Amino acid sequence: MHDIAILFLELGAVLLGLGILGALAMRVGISPIPLYLLAGLAFGQGGILPLATSEEFISVGAELGVILLLLTLGLEYNADELLTSLKGNAPAGLVDLVLNAAPGAICALLLGWGPVAAVAMAGVTYATSSGITAKVLSDLGWIGNRETPVVLSLLVFEDLTMAIYLPVLTAMLAGLSLAAGAVTVAIALGTVSVVLVVALRFGRFIESFVSSPNSEVLMLKVVGLALLVAGVAQQLQVSAAVGAFLVGIALSGELAHDAQALLSPLRDLFAAVFFVFFGLQTDPTKMGPVAGLAALLALISMITKLLTGFYAARRAGIARAGRARAGIALIPRGEFNIVIAGLAVSAGVHPDLGPLAAAYVLILAAFGPLAARLVQPLITAIANRA
């Protein structure tokens, strides 16, 4: 009974603290992700007040957070949008991949961390935070701008790339042989292909099965299906996150919109727990030695994302101000980057990878939205002069 009381006290303190931090972030106008990470650092080993009982419970909540994050991300897209994005924006998507995966991979290789760490760090520096970017576009009134479809298409391309990348990384982290790893990747590619075909041709049957006029039943069906598929994907070493993402893609239309509205509060709760858990796994005393490297890597990533946005928007015939906005909108890092780093940390790839990734995400998750606000007057001046 004493342990349960301590568990409730710790969880209550953590959740209440996250609520206060979230309110503070909204007041300041930044993403709450950096503050959630800082909370995890404060409550973890080496922090100000390490948790005694609830870390295991938070670990399970963090896994649910990843699944719900990827599920709701998949709900934002449908198979048609993904295929259209691939056809029309593949060149820009490939430029995005090369420019932004390279800094992380090169950094890990120069540090002598090995090829597995290089693949993990490539993912950490590659993926833009869809959630933070969407909030930036909304908060600054950029949703209706001509460059916004370009930004969204790059985000879709990145998300689909993650569906292929995560199984590759999982296979490497598990130390599978070349043949076993190839089988895992083939299963992942086959799964993605099957889901897209099913969503395109038989989506109405899936929606008919999941659909319900009762919101409680709808939420239970969607979450249950996502967890089942995530579990099967994990058993196949494809990645539970990818399984949840594919379930989201398979659902579309009004059903996806309703499910997203129902799941958003639950997703936000467990996503916050997920970011806290990553902070719990990272010793804040180890972030000091890598802070300079994280800042340099963040600066390089800002430049490469600006170049990516500039190139993609230029291909779409957008003016200079729109190109600048596109690049700035792609700067933030968050969800996927921490998921990837968390996988690598759990596998024990390198002790400095977690602190480096945490510091890197802290910088870009906080600075990305602030940079957009700070340069908006300059962009407006450029547009007026043009």
Per-residue pLDDT reduced to its tens digit, 223-249: 898 888 888 777 766 667 777 877 887
Percent of the chain with pLDDT over 70: 83
154: CATH: 1.20.1530.20
Return the residue matching tokens 């933030």: 332
The set of residues, in sequence order, having a beta carbon less than 8 Å from that of 49 and lying 6+ positions away, is: 42, 43
CA atoms within 13 A on the CB side of 210: 24
Instruction: Kindly state the tokens that stand for 232.
Output: 């099967």
383: confidence class by pLDDT, cuts 50, 70, 90: low
Give pLDDT, residue 367. Answer: 81
Domains of the chain: total: 1
**Per-residue pLDDT tens for 344-354?**
888 888 889 98
Q: Are 96 and 308 in contact (CB under 8 A)?
A: yes
CA 265 to mean position of chain CA atoms: 17
In whole angstroms, how far apart are CA 5 and each of 1, 273, 277, 310? 6, 19, 21, 54
* Residue whose structure tokens are 């060149």: 91
Model pLDDT, residue 125:
95
- Helix%, strand%, coil% for the chain, nearest 5: 85, 0, 15
Q: Which residue has the higher pLDDT, 212 or 201?
A: 212
DSSP conformational letter for 81 = H
pTM for this predicted structure: 0.74
Span 105-117, pLDDT tens digits: 999 999 999 999 9
Instruction: Report the pLDDT value the prediction gives residue 386, as an integer from 0 to 100.
Output: 53
Instruction: Return the sign of the alpha-carbon dihedral for residues 65, 78, 192, 89.
Output: negative
The larger pLDDT score, comparing residue 278 to residue 13, is at 13
User: Does the pLDDT of residue 46 top 70, yes or no?
Assistant: no
- For residue 324, give its domain range: 2-385
* Amino acid 96: pLDDT: 94
Concatenating the DSSP letter of every residue in 184-211 gives HHHHHHHHHHHHHHHHHHHHHHHHHHH-
pLDDT for position 65 = 78
